[in-house]
Structure 1
Amino acid sequence: MQIIEQYSTPFYKNIIDLPPSMVRKLWKKDQVLILDIRTPQEYIEHHIPGSLLIPMDYLEILQEYFSDREVAVVCEHGNRARYATYGMPHIYKRKAIYMIGGMAGWMSMGYEVESGMDENGTKWEEWLEKKLS
């Protein structure tokens, strides 16, 4: 049996698809920033500790705040994250990782999750306010 640990397309060389287990390894080594693109309500319900919330609608406007790091893009089931990585690849200057299965996949593996709003969940509002003023 062949096990595929990562997938990348020849069209977007800076984007790779990884399962939650591989993303978690990179995250534990502080090699990747987990970019949560869900809504604030979803983030409050559950999120990966230390993940940065920037709702999908504001990714392009706030790209300067994460484009200098390698990011793993996460949503609830993977649909929005796939669109954000493959549909908006111009916003990533470095490597972007699409986490297969999203938060549902992460939680099904029994990995770390937190509830509630924290500093990383509100930064995007401050940045947006700065940009608009």
Structure 2
Amino acid sequence: MQTETVGAATLETWTPEEVARAFAADEIVVIDVRTPQEYMFEHIEGALLAPMAFIDAKKLPGQSDKRILFHCGSGMRSERVARMAIEAGYDRIAHMGGGFGAWKAAQLPYIGTNMGTGAPQRVG
């Protein structure tokens, strides 16, 4: 995990492997900030969808039970949303570096679309 101090807050950038471990242990909530179309095509199983265009960082839940971790396709949008959360008053927030592309490159499991039937299917 890489950390960056942003004012009095800490922005954490997690690797896909760190995300997978923490998510499996129920230590984090993964929020996918991609578009609904991207999410429907392929996504991390169990990740919540909250497209960047619709997020109001001031309305995010607290992190008393689980850390919030954002992810997108490449890490750009999720970092932007994480910085928005810091501006909204969160003092420690995380995103996944490299996004869903890095998740797939690490060969971690996800829900994809069966191109023959259009149905969702587990990959990996």
Offset of residue 28 of structure 1: 0.9
Give the conservation status (yes or no) of the 8 Å contact 2:43–2:112: yes
Structure 2 stretches lacking a partner, 5+ long: 114-118
Determine which structure has the larger helix proportion and give its number.
Answer: 1
Rounded Cα–Cα distance in structure 2 between residues aligned with 1:106 and 1:97: 15
Specify which of 43, 46, 63 is matched with residue 42 of structure 2: 46
Rounded Cα–Cα distance in structure 2 between residues aligned with 1:46 and 1:62: 28
Offset of residue 87 of structure 1: 3.9
Match of 1:85 in 2: 82
Q: How does 1:45-124 map to 2 (within 5 A)?
A: 45-60=41-56, 63-64=59-60, 66-68=61-63, 69-91=66-88, 93=90, 95-115=92-112
Offset of residue 59 of structure 1: 1.0
Offset of residue 79 of structure 1: 0.8
1:12–1:94 distance in 2 versus 1, CA, 3 Å: closer
What RMSD, in angstroms, separates the aligned Cα atoms of the two structures?
Answer: 2.5
What's the TM-score, normalizing by structure 1?
0.72
What's the TM-score, normalizing by structure 2?
0.77
Identity fraction in percent: 23
Offset of residue 13 of structure 1: 2.2
